[in-house]
Amino acid sequence: MLSINVIVLIFILASIALGYIFKINIGVISIVFSYLACNAAGISGKGVVSLWPLDLFFILLSVTFFYGFPLANGTLSLIAEKIVYKTQSRPWAIPIVLYFCVVIFSGVGPGHYAAFAFISPLVMIISSQIKMHKMLAAIIVYSGACAGGFNPFTLGGRVTHALIANAGYTPEMAMRYTMAVSRNTFIAHTVVFFLAYFIFKGYKIRPSENMLPPERLAKKQKMTLLLVCIVFILVIVPAVLLAIDPANSYIKMSVKFLDPAFLSFVGIVLCLLFKAGNERDAMKNIPWDIIMMICGLGMLIELAIKLGTMDILSGWINTLNADKDSHFIVYVVGIISSIMALFSSTMGAVMPTIYPIIPKVNSTHTELLFSVVTVFATFTGYSPFSTGGALVLAGVSEDKERKKLFVQLMLLPITTIILAIILVTCGVIY
C-alpha cells in the first residue's frame, strides 16, 4: 500500500499547485484526483462519492445562506458605518473602532471571507477620507476578519470544529480545541493590529469633514439584526458554557439540540417569513467556490486518512522530534503551514491538510499545534497572492495606492511569521 499512499500525497500537493498555477478551484481538481486514486486503490462507485464531507458541506451551506440576508440587505455594513460615524469626534479611536467593527462583522457569523469582500471597500473609503495609512487599513480588514472569524459560530469556526472532530476527537474535545484556535487567532491578530496602529501612527489621523451621517436602519434590517442576534446567542452561549463545564450533561444536550446548521435554516425561514430579505439575493452570497474548495480537497484528505497516508506524514514529522515536550515540532508545523498558505487558502487547503496529521504527532502540545497551524497560515495570508490578501487589495480603488500596497503586502508575511514565533516562544499563544 506504500505506492498508493505516495500517489495520494502527490495528488494532494498537485491539487494545490495546479490550482495556484492555473487559477482553477483546488476542490474541482481534487475531485478528479480522488476518483483516480480511488480506482488505483480498488475503490469505485459509491466509495468515491462517500468521501464527500457531507456534514461539513451542510454546515457551510446553512451558515453562509443565513448570513446572506444581512449581507444582501446591507444590515452589517450600515451598522459598521454608524459606529464609525459616532466616533468621528475622537479621531484617534476611529482605527480601533474600525478594527473591532470588522472583528464583530466577521465574528457574528459571516466569517472572514465575507469580511474581506464586503468590509474592505468600506474601510478603504473611510481611510481615504481620514488620511489613514493604507497599510493600517489593510491590517484592520485582514487581521480584524481573522481575529473574529474563527469563533465556534462563524464559517471558520464551524470548519475548524468539523475538521478536528473528523480527526478523531470527541465533540467536547473538538470544541475545546476550536475555542483555543479562536482565542489564539484573536490574540495574535490583535497584537498585529496594535503594533500597526502605533507604527503607522493611527492615533494622529484627522476626522473627515465630509463624513455624512448614515441612513437609519430600515424595518427589515432591524428584523434581520434581531434574528442574527437570537441565532448567535443560541449557538455561542451553550458552546462557551460547554467549554467551561464539559461534564455537564444538560449543557451537552443543549449543544446537540441547538445545532448551528439547523438553527441557521430556522433563521433563513424566519427571514423569509418576516420579509427581511430576498431568497435569491441571499443565495448569491453563498461562497460556492470556497465550499467546493474545502469539500473537494476534503475528499482527498478523507481518502488519505483511510489509506494511512496521514500516518506516514506524521511519522516523518515525528522523526524530527525526539522530545515530545519540546516546542521544536510546533515551529516546524507552523513554518510548513505558513509556506503552504503562500500558495493556497488557509481554511480551504492548509487546515484540511495539516489538521488530520496532528493527532498522530508525538507531542504534548496538541492544543497549541491546532492554533499554530491557523495562526501561521493566516499570517502568511497577508500576501497579495493569497485569497485574503487579494480581496483586501481589491478594496483599494486608486491604482497608485494599490501598487504600493501590493509591494507592502508581499513583505508583511515575513515580519508576521517572525512575530508568530516570538508569540509562541513567549507563551502569548498557548
| Ranges 127-131, 147-151, 206-210, 256-260: which has the least confidence | 206-210
Question: Residue 208 — pLDDT band, cuts 50, 70, 90?
Answer: low
Lowest-pLDDT range of 166-170, 217-221, 420-424:
166-170
Average pLDDT in the chain? 84
The x, y and z cell numbers of residue 377, run together, are 497560515
What pLDDT is attached to residue 272?
94
- Is residue 374's pLDDT more than 90? yes
Query: What is the pLDDT, as a whole number, of residue 189?
Result: 96
pLDDT digits (tens, 9 = 90+) for 275-308: 988 899 999 888 788 788 878 888 988 888 788 8
CB 296, CB 31: distance < 8 Å = yes
Nearest to 110 by CA among 134, 84, 80: 80
Give the Cα separation of 241 and 119 in Å (integer). 31
Single out the residue of 349, 319, 325, 321 nearest to residue 337, CA to CA: 349
Would the pLDDT of 384 be above 60? yes
- What one-letter code names the amino acid at 144? G
Confidence of residue 392 (pLDDT cuts 50, 70, 90): low
CA gap 316, 310 in Å, rounded: 10
Quick check: helix, strand or coil at residue 295? Answer: helix
Residue with cell 424566519: 270
d(C-alpha 155, C-alpha 157), whole Å: 6
How many whole angstroms separate alpha carbon 264 and alpha carbon 282?
Answer: 13
Q: What share of the chain is helix, strand, coil (3-state, %, to 5)?
A: 75, 0, 25
Give the DSSP letter of residue 91. G
Instruction: Work out the pLDDT band at 322, boundaries 50, 70, 90.
Output: low
DSSP string, 5-27: HHHHHHHHHHHHHHHHHHT--HH
Q: How high is the pLDDT of residue 121?
A: 66
**pTM of the shown model:** 0.76
Higher pLDDT, 403 or 327: 327
Q: 335 pLDDT exceeds 60?
A: yes
Q: Please, what is the Cα angle at 140 between 134 and 146, to 5 degrees?
A: 135
Q: What are phi and psi of 121, to 5 degrees?
A: -60, -40
- The average pLDDT across 14-18 equals 88
Backbone angles phi, psi at 120, to 5 degrees: -55, -50
Position 394 scores a pLDDT of 59
Would you state the pLDDT for residue 223? Answer: 93
At residue 421, the pLDDT reads: 93
Whether the Cβ atoms of residue 8 and residue 300 lie closer than 8 Å to each other: yes
Gap between the Cα atoms of 242 and 349, Å rounded: 29
Mean pLDDT of 305-316: 77
Cell triple for residue 57?
458541506
Give the pLDDT confidence score for residue 289 in this predicted structure: 81
- Contact, 51 vs 299, CB < 8 A? yes
- Please tell me the predicted confidence (pLDDT) of residue 99: 93
DSSP 94-107: HHHHHHHHHHHHHH
Q: How many CB atoms lie within 10 A of CB 168?
A: 12
pLDDT in tens, 232-251: 788 778 877 776 777 788 88
The pLDDT, as a whole number, for residue 262 is: 87
User: Cα-flanking dihedrals φ and ψ of residue 365, to 5°?
Assistant: -105, 45
DSSP category for residue 131: T
Strands (E), 149-210: none
> Please, is 261 exposed, middle or buried when counting C-beta atoms within 10 Å of its C-beta (0-12, 13-18, 19+)?
middle
pLDDT tens by residue, 190-203: 999 999 999 998 88
| Residue 334 pLDDT level (bands cut at 50, 70, 90) | very high
Alpha carbon of 16 to those of 197, 262, 340, 413: distances in Å?
A: 34, 32, 9, 20
- Residue 222 pLDDT > 90, yes or no? yes
The Cα–Cα gap between 87 and 83 comes to 7
Question: Please, are residues 157 and 64 in contact by the beta-carbon 8 Å criterion?
Answer: no
* pLDDT above 60 (res 362): yes
Cα–Cα dist 71/58, whole Å: 20
| pLDDT band at residue 224 using 50, 70 and 90 as cut-offs | very high
Measured N-to-C along each axis, helices 134-148 and 171-199 cross at an angle, to the nearest 10 degrees, of 170
